[in-house]
Amino acid sequence: MAAAFYAVTLALSLALALLYVFIWHKHFDAHITLIFALVPIVNLGYAMLARAQSLEAALMARRITYLGGCYLLLFITLAVFSQCDIRLNRWLRAAMTVFNSIVYLSALSIGHTRLFYAEVRFEQVDGAYQLLRQYGPMHAVFRWMIGAYCLMSLAALAYGFRRKNQVSRKALYLMLLPEILCVLSYFGGRQLVRQVELIPAAYTVALATFLIIAYRISLYDVTDTAIDSLVESGDTGFASFDFRLNYLGSNETARAVFPALNGLTVDGPIHRDEWMRAHALKWLDAFRKDEAQNTACCEQNGRTYLIRVSYLFDGRRNRGYQLFITDDTRNQEYIRLINTYNTQLQLEVAEKTEHIVEMHDKLILGMATMVESRDNSTGGHIRRTSEGVRMLVEELRKEAGRDLSEAFCKDLIKAAPMHDLGKIAVDDVILRKPGRFTPEEFDKMKAHAAEGARIVRAILEGTEDEAFRRIAENVAHYHHERWDGSGYPEGLKGEAIPLEARIMAIADVYDALVSKRVYKDSMSFEQADAIILDGMGRHFDRGLEACYIAARPRLEAYYAELGQG
């Protein structure tokens, strides 16, 4: 009987978890997601316990079941706080997690120490094997912990009911159920049914409850989408309602324009408010009768607002209605300006954008040149390697099957001068040393790659060109990585090294070979070419060999013109 009971709860919890995955939405609470991930594992532990035939198997199963007691109530409590719109300090959340982990570590010691179980026996009782135990001191801590989380959750729910009008009452009512069931099953399950523990059933019912809550959350959290972020930052407000004309929520702009929204309760019908009956209900009824009747005007606080009615979509699902509220006076002024000065504005914006980009590029090149000026052995390295990258990229684009966008190639060429920015953090004693580095000096020199990535990230933080920022950061960070994994700073291997860094590596090494340094003479083109080709498949990506060979005549001509090689 017990085995069948636990098998059923396991199957149901797995089914509910799969259903949750099916309806999952990016706005779902992370704690609820953790609950759905953990319950099937815990229920599996109970199923294993029912079928255990040895003490060791029973102890292993019991250790799995204590995942529920030690973590599920924590996640439920955090979910309650989140649903009640109560923010816990991150250090408090971390302390709670650490404390629960300590309790769980003591639970893992059952059978080995007397901390959690003072004594355990595996005996046959009423025709079935059972794990008999006497509790240790940490089990008392465990029970107090459960009680503490229960009280915290109940207090948060009470606060939410009294103080949080913008929190769904339905969700708060539903939150009570898993909390109460889990606590009752912990403290009274054995007294109700002797042969089985009711905890897996409580967990399964909790999952069903959280499934309903999660489904409702996708309604309440529609204002957290990227579209709403744009609305919140501008002059547009909106309010949402379900098909029964119950209030779902609104943003601050809407509540500032129409103060009546502040008095509404989430999930409450809007017809109870006089202003909403006279205005919002009229707009929604008109739209419900004829979808073409989706605009209206409203005088409020001495201004005219344009009201647009549309359906409320959650992904592809139509879930209700929403009102978009815009200050029409300002909007009309904006439209007139656009119609009158559109061409002029476009020209001015294009000119200023080009000027800003030009200044940005010159600033980057200036910084790179300033860093290079500290190094007495690599003069002109930035200019030469940038030209080398350009030649390699041009040949690479000619190869069949290569899908390199023009933007990628342009960004890589522009990013090439930034590859050694990290050297600004290297001590002058090392950077300007007139000879080879000692192993200790080389270790310090190698730090310039990671430091360069950090500097690039800081310089380009907030830029709208995210693709360029990523390419520039990768070039600085990984241009000393090697195809066989023997490079630095991360020891990346093969295609784990970004393509832009693999291209930069060839240009960087080629320049180092054919250029004169204080500790070596320049190599001939033949010697450099032999080293580069020999490094294909070890140092360099063999897939770039063809483009290097194609670019080699141009590289040699370029360096010959500079008097090198």
Could you tell me the CATH number of the domain that includes residue 214? Answer: 1.20.1070
Percent of the chain with pLDDT over 70: 82
Among all chains, which residue has been given the structure tokens 């403290």? 187
Pair 293, 201 in one domain: no
d(CA 94, CA 458): 29
Pair 546, 455 in one domain: yes
**Sequence-ordered list of residues with C-beta below 8 angstroms from that of 406, at least 6 positions apart, any chain:** none
| Cα 329 to chain centroid, rounded | 39
Count of CA atoms in the C-beta half-sphere (13 A) of 259: 2
Query: Distances from the Cα of 471 to the Cαs of 260, 409, 463, 545, in angstroms?
Result: 50, 10, 13, 21
Question: What CATH number has the domain bearing residue 440?
Answer: 1.10.3210.10
Q: Is the pLDDT of residue 439 over 60?
A: yes
The one-character DSSP state at 166 is: T
The one-character DSSP state at 221 is: G
The pLDDT assigned to 462 comes to 72
| Per-residue pLDDT reduced to its tens digit, 70-128 | 888 888 888 888 878 788 888 998 999 999 999 999 999 988 899 988 888 877 666 66
DSSP-derived 3-state class of residue 85: coil
| Per-residue pLDDT reduced to its tens digit, 131-172 | 778 888 998 998 899 888 888 988 888 888 887 776 777 777
Does residue 357 lie within any of the structural domains? no
Of residues 82, 83, 72, the one with CA closest to residue 36: 72
The pLDDT assigned to 4 comes to 86
d(CA 363, CA 359): 6
Most confident segment among 26-30, 397-401, 490-494: 490-494
The pLDDT assigned to 206 comes to 85
Q: Once rounded to an integer, what is the mean pLDDT over residues 437-460?
A: 84
Of residues 448, 511, 518, 449, the one with CA closest to residue 478: 449
Among all chains, which residue has been given the structure tokens 């590596």? 505
Does residue 356 lie within any of the structural domains? no
**For 377-387, b where at least 16 C-beta lie within 10 A, e where not — what string?**
bbeebbbbbbb
Residue ending a domain, choose from 191, 221, 251: 221
Pair 170, 184 in one domain: yes
Percent of the chain with pLDDT over 90: 24
- Beta bridge partners, 300, equal 303
Pair 251, 235 in one domain: yes
Handedness of CA 399, 403, 408, 412 (dihedral sign): negative
Of residues 492, 504, 499, 487, the one with CA closest to residue 539: 487
Does residue 362 lie within any of the structural domains? no
d(CA 240, CA 221): 11
What is the pairing mode between strands 247-250 and 128-135? unpaired
Does residue 344 lie within any of the structural domains? no
The pLDDT assigned to 175 comes to 79
Pair 57, 180 in one domain: yes
Does residue 355 lie within any of the structural domains? no
Pair 441, 516 in one domain: yes
Cβ atoms of residues 81 and 156 within 8 Å:
yes
The pLDDT assigned to 541 comes to 93
Mean pLDDT of the chain: 82
The token pair at 410 is 């342009």
Domains identified in the chain, total number: 3
Calculate the dihedral angle through the C-alpha atoms of 538, 544, 547, 553, rounding to the nearest 10 degrees. Answer: -20
d(CA 119, CA 356): 74
Residue positions counted in the chain = 565
Residue ending a domain, choose from 202, 221, 240: 221
**HEC profile for 417-472?**
HHCCHHHHHCCHHHHCCCCCCCHHHHHHHHHHHHHHHHHHHHHCCCCCCHHHHHHH
Pair 270, 390 in one domain: no
Pair 254, 188 in one domain: no
Q: Which domain holds residue 397?
A: 374-561
The pLDDT assigned to 191 comes to 46
Pair 277, 214 in one domain: no
Does residue 271 lie within any of the structural domains? yes
d(CA 415, CA 498): 14
d(CA 271, CA 377): 79
Residue ending a domain, choose from 333, 361, 384: 333
The pLDDT assigned to 336 comes to 60
Confidence of residue 197 (pLDDT cuts 50, 70, 90): confident
Pair 242, 213 in one domain: no
Of residues 318, 310, 305, the one with CA closest to residue 291: 310
Pair 299, 213 in one domain: no
